[in-house]
Chain A
Amino acid sequence: RKEVEQDPGPFNVPEGATVAFNCTYSNSASQSFFWYRQDCRKEPKLLMSVYSSGNEDGRFTAQLNRASQYISLLIRDSKLSDSATYLCAVIRSNDYKLSFGAGTTVTVRA
């Protein structure tokens, strides 16, 4: 079983729509969680950290469910510029290994 798994999508949504997707992790000792955004032919860039109580950054909301071992990302009022691949990342507490999911592709259409 992969350490971090994501629904690859693609999610194809109209502008203004809400889109949400999850990422599951297998190691219960995982301690830190992040969402990254990667544009085509570019390096991943941090979108937001994910905190235990959940957190928002503008139109983006991240949630953590430790009991079920998943994190989620919700994008409200989608913009064309939100089209990208979203990667979840997890740090293990025992060896600090930083693992990524394979990414979820989101395409926002006009």
Chain B
Amino acid sequence: DVKVTQSSRYLVKRTGEKVFLECVQDMDHENMFWYRQDPGLGLRLIYFSYDVKMKEKGDIPEGYSVSREKKERFSLILESASTNQTSMYLCASSLSQDHEAFFGQGTRLTVV
């Protein structure tokens, strides 16, 4: 079974803090994705990566950056957390460009 693991289920951070969300997959998948999910807005793509050290902006990249130094790990960075970044963050990975994605269990981030 594919396993996508996010480092934390719940996080509480203060406004202005730098926040790291980590995601690791164990199936040698090429593609990795970061989404945030908010009520009524669905899943919105923040960034994605189709190879090590490659990254592409999604629909809402502002206020975020990513890092993919190793194939299995994709990190989402909030440079200076703000209250409007309070959300559920979901990481996903897929084998290749036309395969389905598998999700981690999500990180519920609260910025106070």
CB atoms of B100 and A46 under 8 A apart: yes
User: In the bound complex, what is the Cα–Cα distance between A98 and B33 (angstroms)?
Assistant: 8
Interface status of B94 (Cβ within 8 A of chain A): yes
A49-B100, A89-B101 are known contacts. Are A97 and B35 too (CB-CB below 8 A)?
no
Interface status of B74 (Cβ within 8 A of chain A): no
CB atoms of A100 and B58 under 8 A apart: no
CB atoms of B98 and A31 under 8 A apart: yes
Query: Who on chain B is nearest to A44 by CB?
Result: B103
Shortest CB-to-CB span from A101 to chain B, Å, is: 6
Shortest CB-to-CB span from B35 to chain A, Å, is: 7
Shortest CB-to-CB span from A30 to chain B, Å, is: 11
Interface status of B86 (Cβ within 8 A of chain A): no
CB atoms of A102 and B40 under 8 A apart: yes
CB atoms of B41 and A102 under 8 A apart: yes
